[in-house]
Amino acid sequence: MFLSFLKILVSMVVAFFTTFTNFGSDAEDGNAMFEDMGAITASITQTFLKQTWMYGEIPPLPITFAPELEAAFDDIEAASGLRLEDIASTIPDFMHANRWLYNLWPGLFDGLREDFFAAADSYDSKMPTFGGTEDSVKFVAYRILGTFLGMVEEVYVGCDYEWENPGSGKYSLNLYCTFPDGTVKMFPTYTELDPVNKLIADGCGIGSIGFNYNYGENYAYTVDDPWIMRHLGYNKIYDDLLLKSTMLNVDTVRLKFDWKGVPRMMQIWKGRYFCTSGGEIGLYNLTSPTEDLYSWYYSVGQDELVPMSFKVSALTPLGDRVLVDRPAQPHWWMTGFSIAETSYTAPRLKLESTITPPDAEFLTNLQAAFDEQIANRVKISYTLNPDGTLSFVW
């Protein structure tokens, strides 16, 4: 069983990188990288499904959606060309290779499923946040094991009224898995659908991974407390590994300065990220007494978030085309990634932001970093505004 699962995992990784590497290398200056976003993204799983197994080709897992979610999918396709239903229809049946074992001992697997779900229910079902407990991780892990061993027959993605705020018009997205013995188990996705504001979001991000999606304006963005990213921190090796890939075309600059006696770094990115165009502004603390090329940085705390706005535009022959426009809010990692049939490389994007410094020291030292570290090297200009804010354009 373990070898079967490992083979599935390896095939998925190979399919993912083969697909995106090929597409990235075919792009010319990032223009029209994907002619059909839905079909190309779906081909990742299609490539995986073409892997031949001793049990034959793996069929897709039957999955259906609530009408409210299907309506959101129509809006997403209209905005980006991304056909999520087509992609979902190619999700492979990960349990296919083990179904012959289930047919031999159905009672054993049904019992294990119930044991794992019972173990999950003994832990807190809330997803973890920065500094949270491990109980929620155990809850999710036991539910995944119970689902895998239970041999899901079909999945329904339901939209349930948000019980915490029933008058908000929001829905909680939950998975309802049907097993061979007719048992139905609910699996929370920790995600809300807000059809009024056209958001697929949650306080900790979709599935608590840190990213939400504004499908009304067609961009993904990070929440202010993405616990996974905060635990990972930042190291230059991330850029060295990722930004060399043909799947990305991203430029970055770093501004280093002191504030409150602590070495800080503001890093800015813009460019093509896989099938999206966008950028990032991050604010970090140096964690070691001295700095070297690969020193570790961690995000500033919730009490040191800095208000900043964020706007990314594509430079086209017909003028600037706004891809992402986010109003100012306190943040440590302000981002925006537009999903569209045309993606743009870094030189064809303009990133703008207005930062509200917490105090005079922050403003003075950040301005000095722009003057000393960026001047005459990168095409970034900044302006000190009468209200004490600093705006820059890159």
pLDDT tens digits, 243-258 = 777 778 899 999 999 9
pLDDT tens digits, 56-66 = 567 888 999 99
**Six token digits for residue 269:** 């990115």
* Beta carbons within 8 Å of 240's beta carbon, 6+ residues apart: none
pLDDT tens digits, 184-237 = 998 888 889 999 899 998 887 887 788 999 999 999 999 887 777 777 888 888
pLDDT tens digits, 2-55 = 444 444 444 444 444 444 444 443 344 433 444 444 444 445 444 444 444 444
What is the structure's pLDDT at 218?
Answer: 93
What is the structure's pLDDT at 207?
Answer: 78
What is the structure's pLDDT at 260?
Answer: 94
Q: pTM of the prediction?
A: 0.80
**Six token digits for residue 351:** 């990133």
pLDDT tens digits, 157-179 = 999 876 555 667 789 899 999 99
Above pLDDT 70, what percent of the chain? 80
Give the separation between CA 156 and CA 177, rounded to whole angstroms: 7
Using CA atoms, how far residue 131 sits from 206, 212, 244, 305, in Å, is 19, 21, 33, 17
What is the structure's pLDDT at 133?
Answer: 54
Q: Give the pLDDT band of residue 125 (cuts 50, 70, 90).
A: low
Task: Indicate the pairing of strand 63-65 with strand 262-273.
Answer: unpaired
**Six token digits for residue 124:** 């807190």
**Six token digits for residue 261:** 């006696």
What is the structure's pLDDT at 162?
Answer: 62
Task: Point out the least confidently predicted range of 212-216, 218-222, 269-273, 340-344.
Answer: 340-344
- For the residues 139-152, what does the mean pLDDT come to? 84
Q: Which residue has the higher pLDDT, 34 or 341?
A: 341
Give the separation between CA 169 and CA 194, rounded to whole angstroms: 7
Which DSSP string do the residues of 187-205 spell out, in sequence order? EEEEEEEETTTTEEE-TT-
Q: Say which residue the tokens 């491990």 belong to.
A: 134
Angle at 64 between CA 58 and CA 68, to 5 degrees: 150
